[in-house]
């Protein structure tokens, strides 16, 4: 990349990203941004997917951050957002970074408080999504089998 300065670590949306990675894979280091969303953001910003994250200019980083803040304004479809028809605000939005952690934690607390099936499973520390629990997912100390004595 001629005329561009390389940075090993680049800060995007409050997250330190590895500058040696491709743009789409580097953006995945941000919580709440998956591969599809990262590729859509890169396309909306008008950048090449093959470019390395460390060669981005400050203006390009700001543009990526603006797109991540409000993706629908830049032509990213609503179905790609991770919070569609948010129960609290009533609008679709995309949550990234530490806000994502807090939102998920509040959602789980709400499920526990209203005692929904998922909330009860979370409260008991069991599997939530219908997995089997008879043999897998056991926690705690293992109990061995005692051999029978001959005699």
Burial (CB count within 10 angstroms: exposed 0-12, middle 13-18, buried 19+), residue 28: middle
Can you tell me the distance from the alpha carbon of 12 to that of 68, in angstroms, rounded to the nearest whole number? 10
Domains in the chain (CATH in brackets) are 9-80 (1.10.8.50), 97-133 (no CATH)
Q: 26-42, pLDDT tens digit by residue?
A: 999 999 899 999 999 99
Q: pLDDT grade, residue 97 (50/70/90)?
A: confident
Task: Give the contacts of 18 (CB within 8 A, at least 6 positions apart).
Answer: 8, 9, 26, 29, 53
**DSSP reduced 3-state for 71:** helix
What pLDDT, on a 0 to 100 scale, did the predictor assign at position 1? Answer: 60
Per-residue pLDDT reduced to its tens digit, 101-134: 999 999 999 999 999 999 999 999 889 998 888 8
Model pTM?
A: 0.75
């Amino acid at each position: 990349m001629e005329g561009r300065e390389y940075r090993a670590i680049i800060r995007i949306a409050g997250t330190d990203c590895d500058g040696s990675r491709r743009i789409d894979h580097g953006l995945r280091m941000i919580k709440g941004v998956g591969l599809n969303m990262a590729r859509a953001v890169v396309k909306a910003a008008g950048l090449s997917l093959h470019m390395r994250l460390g060669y981005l200019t400050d203006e390009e980083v700001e543009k990526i951050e603006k797109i991540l803040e409000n993706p629908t304004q830049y032509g990213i479809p609503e179905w790609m957002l991770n919070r569609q028809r948010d129960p609290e605000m009533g609008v679709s939005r995309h949550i990234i970074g530490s806000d994502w952690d807090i939102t998920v934690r509040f959602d789980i607390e709400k499920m526990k408080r209203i005692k929904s099936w998922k909330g009860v499973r979370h409260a008991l520390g069991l599997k939530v999504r219908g997995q089997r629990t008879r043999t897998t997912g056991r926690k705690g100390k293992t109990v061995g089998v005692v051999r029978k004595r001959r005699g």
